[in-house]
């Protein structure tokens, strides 16, 4: 099944093809959990501070569904 992924800020470096803030589509198996998506993208779990699906914050054990829109945001500390 397909899900849409958007990597925010510095996480864009893990997007296929390199630095990108644009959403991209990924093919994943039925039953894939949110944290398994990180393995596919080689993103360390501790590099993500906010993860959300379809505009709502979720936990790592959220089971993805077809056409879900996933967003991952790193910690940012500046002000």
Partner 1 sequence: MISDFSQSELLRYSKQILLPQVGIDGQRKLKQASVLIIGVGGLGSPISLYLAAAGIGRIGIVDPDRVSLSNLQRQVLYSFNTVGEMKVEAAKQRLTGLNSCCQIDIFPVAFTSENAKEIAEGFDILVDGTDNLTTRYLINDLCVRTARPFVFGAIQGFDGQMALFDSRIGPCYRCVFGSPPPSDHIPLPADSGVFGVLAGLVGLLQAAEILKIILGIGETLGGKLVLINSLTAEFDHIEVLKDPSCPVCGENSEIKART
- Which positions lie near partner 1, rule CB under 8 A? 8-10, 21, 44, 46-47, 49-50, 52, 55-57, 71, 73-79
Tell me how far, at minimum, the Cβ of 19 lies from partner 1, in Å.
11
Q: How far is the CB of 65 from partner 1 (least distance, A)?
A: 17
Instruction: Determine how many CB atoms are found less than 10 A away from the CB of residue 43.
Output: 18
Q: Check if the beta carbon of residue 23 is closer than 8 Å to that of residue 4.
A: yes
Nearest approach, Cβ of residue 29 and partner 1 (Å): 26
Going by the DSSP 8-state scheme, the letter that residue 64 receives in this structure is P
């Amino acid at each position: 099944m397909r899900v849409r992924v958007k990597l925010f800020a510095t996480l864009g470096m893990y997007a296929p093809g390199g630095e990108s803030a644009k959403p991209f589509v990924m093919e994943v198996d039925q039953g894939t959990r949110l944290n398994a998506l990180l393995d596919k993208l080689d993103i360390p779990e501790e590099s993500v501070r906010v993860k959300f699906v379809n505009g709502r914050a979720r936990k790592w054990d959220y089971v993805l569904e077809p056409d879900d829109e996933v967003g991952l945001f790193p910690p940012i500390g500046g002000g």
